[in-house]
Amino acid sequence: MELPITKPSQVSYADELELSELLEKLMEKEHNGFIRVTHGSEEGYILFKYGIQVAASYDLHLKHDALEKINSVMKKTDTLIEVFDLKKTQIDYLIDLNKVYKFDLTKKSNKTTEKPSEMIKNPSEDEYFNPKMASYREPLSNGYTAEKADDQSEVKTTPETNSVDINRDIEENNSIKSDSSVEESTENNNDDLKPIESTSKIKTSVPNQNNGDVGVNLDSKTVPNLKNETSKAKATEKSTEIENSEKPIKSEDDSSQISPGKEITSEEELILEEEPPEPQIPMDRADLMKKYGLKDIEDEEVDKVIETYKGGEVSIEDLEKIELTLMNKIKKSVMGINKIGGTEVMVFLDNTNELSGKINIICEYASKGIFSRIMGDSKDIQNLKFHISEIVEMEIRKSFREYPQIVDNFEINIDIN
């Protein structure tokens, strides 16, 4: 099983701990988590929801078979048992993740139906799921009699033994003809002819049980018609859930001879009330979002993202600050040139699609010598303009380090007097 291994809340060797006691304790605590049973290189897991066992695996074994294996290794002294706690919110997800190991609903309903009958017969008896008994319930298709026999006698018996008994009973009661072993076992429990009515109920429930192996339905998705297939599978699942949760209860109650008719219905209601909530796949969007830790984006965030596309991330106030900063930086740099006596810098930014602008620089040429005055404007002025232009570009690049190509968006005008 795929389970989050964290720090165990309890660690013990099998000889120091009785599994049944542990299970009872977890049941009482309504424990949400799982236990790991390690024996040599083999590992087994039992997942709990509200103290109820919902899934099990052991090495390559799964479900009830795994429980049986776990039970068998518990007799060995070198088996290590670890108890792990989980949050309630994690359980449903983990059940969903480990669907393959999940106990079949048919068996679950059998298990839940056991509770009231046990309570009636022997209130002191443990309510926990006996792995050994569970393992005998494994063959669903042909082992329904075994399940019933288990439930009836509450003694560990093999399916073969039951079928023998049933066959003997059939011989005794010739009045009922049926292939169904369920039917036969019901007859076995009822001497008069009245229960035949209840037998007919069981008759209808048997094929449903056989078909209604939810484990199969859940995994029966195929890619090409995935959408339809999934919904179909889910519909089948739902219908079998309903059928299985109702019908086996009837049959078991019949077989356990508690009392037919109205009392069964009331017991059914009691069972359904007591039954812990089934781990269902949340289909509500909010549930799904929570399950997968997803969030919708708020309108404000959306607007911000879209604003960046529109190029409006620089506000007017920011624009003015940029203008001022750029102006001062350029002025300072230009004033650093020896031949410049004074300068005035004007920066006009435009923030439409991309940041662009115009930079006007007026400079006063300080050291114009006599010779230069006689000769008129020499190359000096041109060189100075080029020098100032380079300084301005450098300042723009320095100011927009992340986006240096922005320099192409600026128009630089230099006037030297």
Cβ–Cβ < 8 Å for 145, 163: yes
Cα 237 to chain centroid, rounded: 20
**Interface segment toward other proteins; rule CB under 8 A; list 49-57, 172-180, 283-291, 372-380:** 283-291
Q: Cβ closer to other proteins: 373 or 401?
A: 401
User: What are the helix (H) ranges across 256-284?
Assistant: 262-274
What's the min distance (Å) between Cβ of 129 and other proteins?
24
369 lies in the binding site for other proteins (CB under 8 A): no
124 lies in the binding site for other proteins (CB under 8 A): no
371 lies in the binding site for other proteins (CB under 8 A): no
**Interface segment toward other proteins; rule CB under 8 A; list 123-131, 134-142, 291-299, 361-369:** 291-299
Q: Cβ closer to other proteins: 283 or 316?
A: 283
Kindly provide the b/e burial profile for residues 201-223, where b requires at least 16 CB atoms within 10 angstroms of the residue's own CB. Answer: bbbebbebbeebbbbebbeeeee
Q: Cβ closer to other proteins: 219 or 274?
A: 219
Structure tokens of 16? Answer: 């120091």
315: number of Cβ within 10 Å:
10
Q: Cβ closer to other proteins: 100 or 258?
A: 100
297 lies in the binding site for other proteins (CB under 8 A): yes
380 lies in the binding site for other proteins (CB under 8 A): no
Radius of gyration of the chain (CA): 41
Closest CA to 347 of 309, 392, 304, 288: 392
Quick one: residue 276, left, alpha or beta (phi over 0 = left, psi -120 to 50 = alpha)? beta
CA dihedral 58, 62, 63, 65 (to 10 degrees): -80
- What's 346's DSSP letter? E
Residues contacting other proteins: total by CB under 8 A: 33
374 lies in the binding site for other proteins (CB under 8 A): no
Out of 77, 155, 171, 224, point to the residue binding other proteins (CB under 8 A): 224
DSSP three-state, residue 222: coil
Out of 120, 305, 366, 375, point to the residue binding other proteins (CB under 8 A): 305
Residues of this chain, 390-409, that bind other proteins according to CB under 8 A = 405
Structure tokens of 134? Answer: 């569970």
Out of 289, 335, 346, 375, point to the residue binding other proteins (CB under 8 A): 289
Out of 17, 80, 97, 337, point to the residue binding other proteins (CB under 8 A): 97
Q: Cβ closer to other proteins: 141 or 405?
A: 405
Q: Please give the Cα distance from 333 to 343 (Å, whole number).
A: 10
Q: Cβ closer to other proteins: 192 or 296?
A: 296
Out of 25, 99, 115, 203, point to the residue binding other proteins (CB under 8 A): 99
Q: Cβ closer to other proteins: 116 or 279?
A: 279
DSSP three-state, residue 414: strand
x/- mask, other proteins, residues 233-262, rule CB under 8 A, reads: -x----------------------------
Closest CA to 361 of 397, 386, 398: 386
Structure tokens of 260? Answer: 């037919």
Q: Please give the Cα distance from 309 to 353 (Å, whole number).
A: 9
Residues of this chain, 260-279, that bind other proteins according to CB under 8 A = none
Residues of this chain, 314-353, that bind other proteins according to CB under 8 A = 353
Out of 7, 141, 155, 223, point to the residue binding other proteins (CB under 8 A): 223
Which residues 6+ apart lie within 8 Å of 404 measured at CB?
A: 397
410: number of Cβ within 10 Å:
19
- Angle at which helix 159-172 crosses helix 144-153, to 10 degrees, equals 90
Task: Give the interface with other proteins as residue ranges (CB under 8 A).
Answer: 2, 96-97, 99-100, 219, 221, 223-224, 226-227, 230-231, 234, 283-285, 288-289, 292-294, 296-297, 302-303, 305-306, 308-309, 353-354, 405
